[in-house]
Amino acid sequence: MKANYKNIIPLKQLLAPAQKNGFAIGAFSPRYTAMIRSVLLAAEHLQSPAIVQIAQVELGWYQSNLVDFAHVFWQQVDELQPTIPIGLHLDHTQDFELIKQAIDLGFTSVMIDASQQPLDGNIATTRQVVEYAHAHGVSVEAELGKIGTADFIESDVDEELYTDPQEAALFVAQTGVDALAVSVGTAHGVYLVRQPKVDIGRLNAIRALTDVALVLHGGSGTPAEMVHNAIQLSGGGVSKVNIATDLELGMLAALGRKERTTEAGLNLLPAADIEIGAKAVQKVVEEKIINYLGSAQKKDLYQLG
């Protein structure tokens, strides 16, 4: 299944040129395995680095699993032979066993989200994952502060706690994480019950104290100008932006559906319908790369192999 492709690289190597050169890499969740191909095609078309990711909670919603997801990813890579830098990332999990499984399946980075724990517990849990992952050549993202929900669809809790800059510096120093998801005003899901915002002052204060790669979750629906400001921070802005909901909304709109389906439900649709959905997802990803992330034509900044 997994092979050694020199362009499929750990998060740390993906994000460094982005942070240095004022662009960000989209971490796109295709949610359905049939949509993984769309992310790869869009990124290759625009010669943009990209991350394919899936969160543990998404595997639950779509009645999918990590083995199938990884299998389809590697199958598509074998078929398409993309030339751009790519990451395969496990988003939000608290489950160390799932992290170990992801690493065995060839994921190049994982996110341990122990942000619900008090600071010392978050540090201890994260450090344990960092030790294991780094020993396997895999990067780690962690979260400090709490990122809320915007629509009460993906989560019924909207507990939000902005990241404290001093704590962020301490957390990075004590855990050795490669990337840090910060809570600065964006939220997961569709903005129905509140408006998106990005606290640039807070991002600047965090950047002044640590050079860790910064990650913005809840990229769907956040106005491009806010995202640009976060990416183009002096001293190196956000270099990874998570985008999930907008891909699925694009797919559902193209199919004339209002409600999400399951992995099996989507795969039961006629091939022509799946293709319509896949084209829509590709279009959304291309639009994000151009208008949000500024990552098109950045392939040459990477030394691959």
Q: Considering beta carbons, is residue 207 or 217 the nearer one to Zn ion?
A: 217
Task: Give the range of 18-26, 64-72, 168-176, 209-217 binding Zn ion by CB under 5 A.
Answer: 209-217
Which residue in 12, 89, 127, 217 binds Zn ion (CB under 5 A)?
217
CB of 162 to Zn ion, least distance (A): 15
Q: Considering beta carbons, is residue 76 or 175 the nearer one to Zn ion?
A: 175
Task: Give the range of 158-166, 171-179, 212-220, 223-231 binding Zn ion by CB under 5 A.
Answer: 212-220
Taking alpha carbons only, the member of 29, 11, 8, 13 closest to residue 260 is 29
Gap between the Cα atoms of 31 and 228, Å rounded: 25
CB of 168 to Zn ion, least distance (A): 16
CB of 79 to Zn ion, least distance (A): 29
CA atoms within 13 A on the CB side of 213: 27
Task: Give the range of 36-44, 131-139, 217-225, 279-287 binding Zn ion by CB under 5 A.
Answer: 217-225
Question: What is the DSSP annotation of 120-132?
Answer: HHHHHHHHHHHHH
Q: Does 228 bind Zn ion (CB under 5 A)?
A: no
Taking alpha carbons only, the member of 168, 213, 214, 158 closest to residue 188 is 158
Taking alpha carbons only, the member of 187, 119, 123 closest to residue 149 is 187
Interface size with Zn ion, residues (CB under 5 A): 1
Classify strands 86-93 and 238-243 as parallel, antiparallel or unpaired.
Answer: unpaired
Q: Which of 78, 91, 104, 246 is catalytic?
A: 91
91 an active-site residue? Answer: yes
CB of 171 to Zn ion, least distance (A): 17
Cβ atoms of 55 and 49 within 8 Å: the answer is no
Cβ atoms of 36 and 76 within 8 Å: the answer is yes
Binding site for Zn ion (CB under 5 A): 217
Q: Tell me the catalytic residues.
A: 91
